[in-house]
């Protein structure tokens, strides 16, 4: 999006914002929004790297136990910070998708449906993963105690559900892609 503004090929984007403001105010407003969206996306690797570094340091100094989602364990808070950072970055990505769709930068590509599939996959995999980790930590998932712990079973369920959701949403996306290209 920012590349389109810099190249000057953003007539569609410019015309839709021209109605809301006059002069160069709309361009400054639009540029500031894009910079904020970029910040939302680009902060993810930095925040995640810092949190993973803290997890490793605190784990090595025996101040936390990885995978234990309790109120007293710092791992829980670091995990929620990473999850919040991830959802903030995802929001920035989705705002770029929304701008692209709203200003018809990728017309006739079923962009809205494809981004909906992307949103569903990301949301389901991350939310259910955190929920399953919490359930596994508190032994709310039944298990075979001497052989498999509740947390190990939670991770197994998390991976299995992620694979199944990826398969189903991938098939839907492929079918949509094939349907679109058959009619073109």
DSSP string for residues in 128-165 = HHHHHHHHHHTT-S---TTT--HHHHHHHHHHHHHHHH
Q: 88 or 60, which is more confident?
A: 88
Q: Which residue has the higher pLDDT, 9 or 150?
A: 150
- CA separation (Å) from 76 to 59, 61, 62, 99? 13, 17, 15, 35
Q: How confident is the model at residue 105 (pLDDT cuts 50, 70, 90)?
A: low
pLDDT digits (tens, 9 = 90+) for 41-77: 889 889 989 998 998 899 888 888 887 888 888 988 9
Q: What is the pLDDT of residue 136?
A: 86
Give 8 or 173, the one with higher predicted confidence: 173
3-state helix, strand, coil in the chain (%, to 5): 75, 0, 25
Report yes or no: 26 and 20 within 8 Å, Cβ to Cβ: yes
pLDDT band (50, 70, 90) for residue 10: very low
Q: Look at 1-10, 86-95, 174-183 and tell me which has the smallest mean pLDDT.
A: 1-10
This prediction's pTM: 0.60
State the Cα–Cα distance between residues 169 and 136, nearest whole angstrom: 26
């Amino acid at each position: 999006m920012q590349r389109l503004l810099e190249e000057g090929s953003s007539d569609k984007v410019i015309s839709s914002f021209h109605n809301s403001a006059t002069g160069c105010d709309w361009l400054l407003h639009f540029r500031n929004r894009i910079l904020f969206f970029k910040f939302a996306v680009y902060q993810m690797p930095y925040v995640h790297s810092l949190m993973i570094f803290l997890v490793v340091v605190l784990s090595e100094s025996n101040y936390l136990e990885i995978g234990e989602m309790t109120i007293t364990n710092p791992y829980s808070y670091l995990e929620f910070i990473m999850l919040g950072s991830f959802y903030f970055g995802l929001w920035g990505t989705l705002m770029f998708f929304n701008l692209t769709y709203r200003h018809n930068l990728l017309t006739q590509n079923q962009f809205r449906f494809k981004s909906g599939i992307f949103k569903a996959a990301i949301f389901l995999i991350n939310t259910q993963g955190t929920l399953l980790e919490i359930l596994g930590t508190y032994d709310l998932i039944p298990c075979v105690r001497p052989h498999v712990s509740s947390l190990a079973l939670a991770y197994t369920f998390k991976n299995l559900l992620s694979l199944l959701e990826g398969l189903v949403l991938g098939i839907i996306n492929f079918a949509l892609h094939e349907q679109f290209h058959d009619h073109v």
